[in-house]
Structure 1
Amino acid sequence: MGMRLLKRFSTFTCLEKKVSPNSLKSKTKNVSSQHWLSRQLSDPYVEKAKLMNYRCRSAFKLLEIDDKYKILKPGQIVLDVGASPGSWSQVIAHKINSNGKNKELLTGTVIAIDKQNIYPIEGVTIFGNMDFTSEEVQKKLMEFLGERKVDIVASDMAPSATGIRDMDNENMLKLCYSVLRFSLQVTKNSGIILMKLWQCGDTKKLENDICRFYNNVKVVKPKSSRSDSTEIYLLGREFKGLRS
Structure 2
Amino acid sequence: MNTSISTKSFIRVISTQNCLAKQIPRNLKGRSKSSQEWLTRQLADPYVEKAKMMNLRCRSAFKLIEIDDRFKILKPGDTVLDCGAAPGSWTQVAVDRTNANGTKEGNKKGAVFSIDLLHFHAVPGATIFGGMDFTTAIAQQRLREALADRQVNCVLSDMAPNATGVRMLDQENIMGLCYSVLRFALAMSAINAHLVVKLWANGDISKLENDLGRFYEHVKRVKPESSRSDSAELFLVARQYKGIDAVKEVTTKTR
1:52 alignment partner in structure 2: 54
1:159 alignment partner in structure 2: 161
1:130 alignment partner in structure 2: 132
2:248 alignment partner in structure 1: 243
Give deviations 1:102-157, integer Å, cap 9, x for gaps: 12110000001000112011100000110000111101111111221100000111
2:10 alignment partner in structure 1: none
One-letter amino acid of the structure 2 residue matched with residue 48 of structure 1: K
Instruction: Specify the SS of the correspondent of 2:117.
Output: coil
Q: 2:150, 2:210 → 1: CA distance?
A: 27
Which residues of 2 match residues 19-58 of structure 1 at below 5 A? 30-58=32-60
Instruction: Specify the SS of the correspondent of 1:38.
Output: helix
CA separation of 1:35 and 1:162: change in aligned 2, threshold 3 A:
farther
Give deviations 1:80-121, integer Å, cap 9, x for gaps: 000000000101111010000012110000001000112011
Q: 1:166, 1:36 → 2: CA distance?
A: 25
- Superposed structure 1 runs of 4+ greater than 4 Å apart: none
Which residues of 2 match residues 94-243 of structure 1 at below 5 A? 94-241=96-243, 242-243=247-248
Q: 1:80, 1:214 → 2: CA distance?
A: 19
Give deviations 1:23-81, integer Å, cap 9, x for gaps: xxxxxxx5544443332232111111111110000010111111111111000000000
Instruction: Specify the SS of the correspondent of 1:212.
Output: helix
Aligned-residue RMSD, C-alpha: 1.4
- Percent identity at matched positions? 56
One-letter amino acid of the structure 2 residue matched with residue 127 of structure 1: F
Q: 2:111, 2:216 → 1: CA distance?
A: 23
Could you state the TM-score of these two structures normalised by the residue count of structure 1? 0.85
Q: 2:203, 2:73 → 1: CA distance?
A: 28
Q: 2:102, 2:175 → 1: CA distance?
A: 36
Structure 2: where are the runs of 5+ without partners? 1-31, 250-255
Q: 2:46, 2:162 → 1: CA distance?
A: 24
Structure 1: where are the runs of 5+ without partners? 1-29
Q: Identify the match of residue 86 of structure 1 among 85, 88, 92.
A: 88
Give the number of the structure whose alpha-carbon radius of gyration is greater: 2
Comparing both chains, which one has the higher relative contact order based on Cα–Cα distances under 8 Å and sequence gaps of 6 or more? Answer: 1
Q: CA deviation at 1:173?
A: 0.7
For the pair 1:70 / 2:61, whether they are aligned, the reply is no
Instruction: Specify the SS of the correspondent of 2:92.
Output: helix
Instruction: Specify the SS of the correspondent of 2:248.
Output: coil
